[in-house]
A and B are shown apart, each in its own frame.
Chain A
Amino acid sequence: MTATRVSTYLAPRRRLRLAGLLTAPVLWLGLVYVVALAALLITAFWTVDAFTGQVRVEWTTENIVEVLTEALYRTVTLRTLGIAALVTVLDIIVAVPVAFFMAKIARPRMRHLLVIAMLAPLWASYLVKVYAWRALLSGNGLIEWAVAPFGGETPGYGIVGVVLTLSYLWLPYVVMPIYAGFDRVPDRLLEASADLGGRGWRTLTAVVLPMIRPAIIAGSIFAFSLSLGDYITTTIVGGSTQMLGTLVYDNVGSANNLPLAAAISLIPIGIILVYLAAVRRTGALRSL
């Protein structure tokens, strides 16, 4: 009875319904998200009392200037960019055939199994997966055991290990949008291309890839931005490798310089904003 009365009251009041629907998410986005980011931005313009180690509200551009001019930050930024780009490319190279198989070749039963196989690792703890890779990469780990007979050796802990581990971690985030993209390409179009004389390669490059390009870019946003901010993987399998994330972590922790950490973390934020602006026009944001 009451439910009916509420419905009757709300039915003609469009604005009220909208307000009821949006208040909570707008508060969440506004307070928790935007305010937190703004606070970060502001912190970057503060400083730390060298004597007490306390953050002092004293406006300065010192941190920003340091981040922009110190060679260390330029090197680490370039390295982080390189690692993120490499991880993204590797993931796309692996994800496209896998997603194609899932969407176009596998029978429904197999397809469901593969979707589950892709998503299952997301339930496992991030730390467990990274430590698993630490074990794989170690001097007497699985990789060493597999390649030693051929005269190879494990890449060990370093940039290669970081790239491999990050590629593994973000692969599901790249496969799923591309799988959805392939799924949206009707089989009829592949047949039409073949009917008009197109062989497999032509069909792939002239029909399929242009149609799934937004999906590939959507996947790349995940792999790229997640790699850009990562610090745990680098710490565990990166050896002495420094990325922007580890610099932030060190400055918050051992160096106890929150304003500098905030200034450093503005770098990946700036990069990802540029990246999003660049891909905005491809329609990729609509396939996320």
Chain B
Amino acid sequence: MEPAIRLRGLHKRFGDTVAVADLDLDIAAGEFFSMLGPSGSGKTTVLRVIAGFEQPTAGTVELFGKDVTALAPFARPVNTVFQDYALFPHLSVIANVEYGLRVAGVGRRERRAQAEEALASVRLAGLEDRRPHELSGGQRQRVALARAVVLRPQALLLDEPLGALDLKLREQMQVELKELQRSLGITFIFVTHDQDEALTLSDRVAVFDAGRVVQLGTPREVYDHPRNPFIASFVGSSTLLEPAIAEAFGLPAVATAVRPERVTLDAPAGGVRGTIAEVIYTGPEHRIVVDLEGLGTRITALEPNMGAAHERRRGDAVTVAIDPAGAAALESEAPAA
């Protein structure tokens, strides 16, 4: 099937700064696709190029088989949810949602009905006549969503839409976003620097670093098999092991990343001996840092909180083992720059 969005040789420079370097990307129709990366990694620029707010320095943007590189934003079948929502302050909630329909020449009664339906779909019915400044952050977020989806875009572009919300609201909106995407059945392209959000929501994740996609895959592929040290530490947390250390654990002698939850302490089969250097209580679990004996390095393990009676103490001697299936061999060299 033809991809919803196809980027070829996309390159974007701002002055001397390369924001996006020779990017090729295919995003399937109906996919929840995340672009994950630290700030300045180029993910937002890619989104803005797809929306048409930025012209690429080189390369093409195809939407549903049509080259739209030269088209203005208003001529593209995609809509955007902005990071700061960008609601029109002089218009009421309903007028904000109706804006795109009014531009498209939809009749008064019809657009009112569609806007009300869109507001109901984001659970905002009853606030039609408020002004944006009278709404909470979460409500503004929903208005921005309704304003974009009411036009039934073929793809929805979301630029860190949950960044300004507090944790509880963010988790709730994550669920709602996922449900909305499922019910609309359209492509969502989601930009975020929050790895948790990207893993939770996405069908596929592209990890950005310095203007390039350094890894592309399902959340499980990216989390379980990070390709390089940057991904291993940016997506979740990992202990990075030198080849010699990996060998000491019975793993292949290459640079390896190990997730703390795949590290076992006091395994029956034994392992590398060490001393507990730090026990960090996080509520549901303990994060335990172990000094490895004779190897001059540390490793972090995660154990569920089984109550005070089972709590480990600093200075306790332990043996450390790594589940070989949970160790990711890393590409030693950095990706070609």
Q: Shortest Cβ distance from B247 into chain A, in angstroms?
A: 53
Q: Does A189 contact B (CB under 8 A)?
A: yes
Contact of B88 among A189, A194, A195, A202 (CB under 8 A): A189
Residues of B contacting A192 with CB < 8 Å?
80, 82, 86-88
CB contact under 8 A between A198 and B86, given known A191-B53, A193-B99, A206-B99: no
Q: Does B281 contact A (CB under 8 A)?
A: no
Q: Does B256 contact A (CB under 8 A)?
A: no
Residues of B contacting A32 with CB < 8 Å?
none
Contact of A210 among B84, B86, B90, B104 (CB under 8 A): B90
Tell me the B79-128 residues at the A interface (CB within 8 Å): 79-80, 82, 84, 86-90, 99-100, 102-104
CB contact under 8 A between A194 and B84, given known A206-B99, A210-B90, A211-B89: no
Q: A-facing mask of B55-79, CB < 8 A → 1, else 0?
A: 0000000000000000011100001
Residues of B contacting A207 with CB < 8 Å?
88
Residues of A contacting B80 with CB < 8 Å?
191-192, 195
Docked complex Cα distance between A188 and B103 (Å): 18
Q: Does A270 contact B (CB under 8 A)?
A: no
Contact of A188 among B79, B84, B90, B147 (CB under 8 A): B84
B51 adjacent to A195 (CB under 8 Å): yes
Q: Shortest Cβ distance from A187 into chain B, in angstroms?
A: 9
A188 adjacent to B100 (CB under 8 Å): no
B53 adjacent to A196 (CB under 8 Å): no
Q: Does B151 contact A (CB under 8 A)?
A: yes
Q: Does A149 contact B (CB under 8 A)?
A: no
B86 adjacent to A194 (CB under 8 Å): no
Docked complex Cα distance between A199 and B52 (Å): 13
Residues of B contacting A20 with CB < 8 Å?
none
B100 adjacent to A197 (CB under 8 Å): yes
For residue B73, which residue of chain A has the nearest CB?
Answer: A194
Docked complex Cα distance between A198 and B72 (Å): 10
Residues of B contacting A198 with CB < 8 Å?
74, 99-100, 103
Residues of A contacting B151 with CB < 8 Å?
196-197
Interface centre among A194, A197, A210 (most CB of B within 10 A): A197
CB contact under 8 A between A195 and B99, given known A189-B88, A210-B90: no
Docked complex Cα distance between A202 and B84 (Å): 22
Interface centre among B51, B79, B89 (most CB of A within 10 A): B89
B86 adjacent to A186 (CB under 8 Å): yes
B74 adjacent to A194 (CB under 8 Å): yes
For residue B159, which residue of chain A has the nearest CB?
Answer: A188
A197 adjacent to B86 (CB under 8 Å): no
Docked complex Cα distance between A76 and B79 (Å): 57
A197 adjacent to B104 (CB under 8 Å): yes
Residues of A contacting B51 with CB < 8 Å?
191, 195
Tell me the B14-57 residues at the A interface (CB within 8 Å): 51-53
Docked complex Cα distance between A19 and B186 (Å): 65
A188 adjacent to B74 (CB under 8 Å): no
Q: Shortest Cβ distance from B273 into chain A, in angstroms?
A: 57
What are 18 of the A-B contact pairs (CB < 8 Å)? Answer: A188-B86, A191-B51, A191-B73, A191-B80, A192-B80, A192-B87, A193-B88, A194-B53, A194-B72, A194-B74, A195-B148, A196-B147, A197-B74, A197-B103, A197-B104, A206-B99, A211-B89, A211-B90
Residues in chain A within 8 A of chain B (CB atoms): 186, 188-189, 191-199, 202, 206-207, 210-211
Query: Which 5 pairs between the two chains have the least Cβ-Cβ distance?
Result: A196-B100, A192-B86, A188-B86, A194-B73, A197-B103
